[in-house]
């Protein structure tokens, strides 16, 4: 009865003249090591993923964090587009939470909200800056900012996502002309067709009129 040989199994019956059986065995083992089994099917796909993953170089931190890069969160208040440092915003609420109104306070203070057990004062940023009430739509968001005495949530019309500004982008920055914004907007930059005001949350939360919400 003939015996089937597996893939890469050396044929010990065939040897060249002058070579011993031991030589044939050594040659067969060497050939098997030099020619590994080739994966097929799903295993081949996983092996290819592993090979490409190991070959991928994500880059060193100096390449990812480019010098002069400023990371910010973009948002819209009315017709104005702003950016604030990503380190100035601690959280983003995808929808305004239910609020409890507080009597004898400024109209821009909408009340306080319970956000996961923490009381957060909710401020209509458009009404504070421009005395115009925000019309809440599905795009409205709340930017949670830390301040002395507790967090405050700023209601904005829309979130524009993350924006990255470089020193080159800020080379032609312009000052703020609106006297109502000049205290909070340190400069205006243009990215593509969009003009963005660099809005300081620190200056906002330290403004006396922002801290005194009582009538």
What is 152-165 written as a DSSP string?
A: EEEEESEEEEEEEE
The whole-number average pLDDT for the span 99-104 is: 96
How far is 129 from 131, CA to CA, in rounded Å? 6
| Contact (CB, 8 A) for 161 and 110 | no
What value, to the nearest 5°, has the Cα angle with vertex 160 and ends 157 and 164? 145
How far is 91 from 21, CA to CA, in rounded Å? 75
CA-based max dimension of the chain: 109
Residues 6+ apart with CB under 8 A from 146: 90, 205
14: left (phi over 0), alpha (psi -120 to 50) or beta: beta
Q: What's the token pair of residue 138? A: 């599905």
Residue 57 confidence class, pLDDT cut points 50, 70, 90: very low
pLDDT at 46: 56
Q: What's the token pair of residue 174? A: 């312009």
**% pLDDT > 70, the chain:** 69
How far is 151 from 121, CA to CA, in rounded Å? 7
Residue 6 confidence class, pLDDT cut points 50, 70, 90: very low
Burial profile 105-115: b = 16 or more Cβ within 10 angstroms, e = fewer: ebebbbbbbeb
- Kindly report the average pLDDT of the chain as a whole number: 81
- Ranges in the chain annotated CATH 2.40.50.180: 70-211
DSSP H helical ranges for the chain = 21-34, 41-55, 61-64, 125-130, 201-206, 208-211
pLDDT at 149: 81
How far is 68 from 208, CA to CA, in rounded Å? 32
pLDDT at 178: 95
The separation between CA 88 and the C-alpha centre of its own chain, rounded to angstroms, equals 15
Q: Which fold has domain 70-211?
A: OB fold (Dihydrolipoamide Acetyltransferase, E2P) (2.40.50)
Q: Cα-atom radius of gyration of the chain, to the nearest Å?
A: 33
Above 70 in pLDDT, residue 79?
A: yes
């Amino acid at each position: 009865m003939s015996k089937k040989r597996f893939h890469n199994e050396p044929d010990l019956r065939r040897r060249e003249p002058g070579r011993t059986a031991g030589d044939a065995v050594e040659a067969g083992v060497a050939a098997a090591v030099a020619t590994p089994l080739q994966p097929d099917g799903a295993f081949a796909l996983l092996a290819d993923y592993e090979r490409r993953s190991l070959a991928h170089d994500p880059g060193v931190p100096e390449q990812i964090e480019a010098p002069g890069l400023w990371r910010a969160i973009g948002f819209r208040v009315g017709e104005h587009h702003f950016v604030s440092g990503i380190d100035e915003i601690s959280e983003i609420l995808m929808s305004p939470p239910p609020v409890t109104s507080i009597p004898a306070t400024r109209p821009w203070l909408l009340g306080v909200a319970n956000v996961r057990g923490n009381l957060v004062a909710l401020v209509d940023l458009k009404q504070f800056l421009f005395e115009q009430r925000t019309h809440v739509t599905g795009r409205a968001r709340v930017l949670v900012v830390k301040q002395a005495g507790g967090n405050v949530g700023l209601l904005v019309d829309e979130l524009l996502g993350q924006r990255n500004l470089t020193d080159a982008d800020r080379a032609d920055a312009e000052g703020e002309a609106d006297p109502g914004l000049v205290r909070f907007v340190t400069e205006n930059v243009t990215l593509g067709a969009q003009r963005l005001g660099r809005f300081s949350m620190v200056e906002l939360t330290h403004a006396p009129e922002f801290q005194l919400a009582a009538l």
